[in-house]
Amino acid sequence: MPVFYGTDVPSRLMLGTAQYPSPAILAEAFRRSGAGIATVSVRREAGGESTGAGFWTLVRDLGVHVLPNTAGCHSAREAVTTAEMARELFETDWIKLEVIGHADTLQPDPFGLVEAAAALTKKGFKVFPYTTEDLVLAERLLDAGCEVLMPWGAPIGTGLGLTNIYGLRTLRAQLPDVPMVIDAGLGLPSQAAQAIEMGFDAVLLNTAVARSGDPAGMAEGFARAVEAGRLAFDADPMEPRDMAAPSTPILGKAIL
């Protein structure tokens, strides 16, 4: 199982808590998925209001690690302020850092991301940066104090899967000892299995489960997919080849 900042997490599946049809369906999705981490948007919940307090009670009752995020932030300063609010509200130093640089694609702002990551690690936060598959950016985030990386599979909410296989494979190969989570863009359990087969430590998703026809069933499907992906990774899969190779030996074949 993955280890993030010295904490063992019981599942390779992480789920968001937004967009579910009801609190009961959210809770059932987490139960059937066995997800080990729940991400929570700080902007969506106000700790001093009854609705926010009720949501926090629901999240605590899930019995999983909470990873607040800075969703919706478009500057380093805004993200740092939101992270400080999250630490006070959710009583954790963990923060999923999002600094959005493009409104349409929701692509991270690499400059603001590194700036915010450096500031937060100095304040004692354990930062999980939402980033792209760019290797240079990844190294800058590690230099800033991050010990986990969360590269996207595709833009948030698109369900396109792993759109840059080469970039993700390169990132994983160049930084083999860094815990990495594929965050955003996954739409199907098969895409999650593919990510784990490539050696990524976990996947994080929200829309693919919450907006499906059966969120709890889809959550369980993703849970089974990440298990299958890890079994395949550990089994050392065969390399693909260009030419056919017979699985049945020719020796001993009947001569007609």
Of the residues 96, 122, 123, 126, which is catalytic?
96
* Residue 206 counted as an annotated binding residue: yes
Please confirm, yes or no, whether 96 is among the known catalytic residues: yes
138 burial type by CB count under 10 A (0-12 exposed, 13-18 middle, 19+ buried) = buried
**By the 8 A CB rule, do 10 and 35 touch?**
no
Return the half-sphere exposure (C-beta side, CA atoms, 13 A cut-off) of residue 128. 27
83 assigned to a ligand binding site: no
Q: At 132, list the tokens.
A: 């792209």
Q: Does the annotation list 164 as a binding residue? A: no
Q: Is 54 annotated as a binding residue?
A: no
User: Annotated binding site, which residues?
Assistant: 157, 184-185, 206-207
Report the catalytic residues.
96
User: Annotated binding site for 1-deoxy-D-xylulose 5-phosphate, which residues?
Assistant: 157, 184-185, 206-207
